[in-house]
Copies of this chain bind each other. A is one copy, B any other.
Amino acid sequence: MKLTTDYLQKILQGRFEHTLLEELALVGQLKTAPAGSYLIRPGEYIRSVPIIISGSVKIMRPDKEGREALLYYLGGLDACAMSLTCCLGNKQSEITAVVEEDVVMVAIPVEKVDEWMCRFSTWKQFVFQTYQKRFDSLLETVDEVIFHKLDERLLTYLQKKVASCQCRVLSITHEEIAGEMATSREVISRLLKQLERTGQIKLMRNKIEMV
């Protein structure tokens, strides 16, 4: 699809100055990606920084044994800090990015990311804000795993999921949760049952309703 200044103006309302929007429209590529598709995998290089317009993306961290733990979500108007460092440092990715909800995004070529930084202060601000937000997300994640037990972690996991997909009924299996939390299915089933008994959730096949 063609990217127009008007469209960008509407989406990024007031965040960037007009001249930047014009350049954005010129070099940015409007892309879509369906749920489940991979934006990047560990070891790959990336040559453009995506800004998420709508939908959500989950950032996962793999270990050697093939497990993949969830780090955090990207949502509306978020950009990926990893892609920034990867691009600017020409480094391989250390994470996996999977589309959670169908995504519309604008991809910015890496040269522009760099160039604009000095030309547009709003862009520079955006880049640093991105770093900061990702840093905070990671810190929250660290907090969770260091200081909290699995039952609490499970609850906040579900809450973040609800926030990211904006619906009270999650379509997910126990197995998938276990994967993202780096534990086993049985443990998750056990804890979910516990949450159901205390009336905090309702369980259905392939679904979990938050109450």
Interface residues of A (CB under 8 A from B): 61, 63, 65, 67, 69, 71, 81-82, 84-85, 88-89, 91, 94-95, 117-118, 124, 128-129, 131-132, 134-136, 138-139, 141-143, 145-147, 182
Contacts of A95 in B (CB 8 A): 139
Task: Determine how close the nearest CB of chain B comes to the CB of A113; give it in whole angstroms.
Answer: 11
Given known contacts A88-B128, A131-B131, A132-B89, is B63 in contact with A147 (CB within 8 Å)?
yes
Contact yes or no, A142 B85, CB < 8 A: no
Residues on B with beta carbons closer than 8 Å to the beta carbon of A147: 63, 65, 67, 69, 182
Closest residue of chain B to A136 (Cβ to Cβ) is B94
So how many copies of this chain end up in the complex?
A: 2
Is there contact, CB below 8 Å, between B82 and A135?
A: yes
Q: Looking at the assembled complex, report how far the CB atom of A114 sits from the nearest CB atom of chain B, in whole angstroms.
A: 8
A148's nearest neighbour on chain B, judged by CB, is B63
Q: Are B136 and A138 in contact (CB under 8 A)?
A: no
Choose from B85, B124, B143 the contact partner of A132 (Cβ within 8 Å).
B85
Contacts of A84 in B (CB 8 A): 128, 131
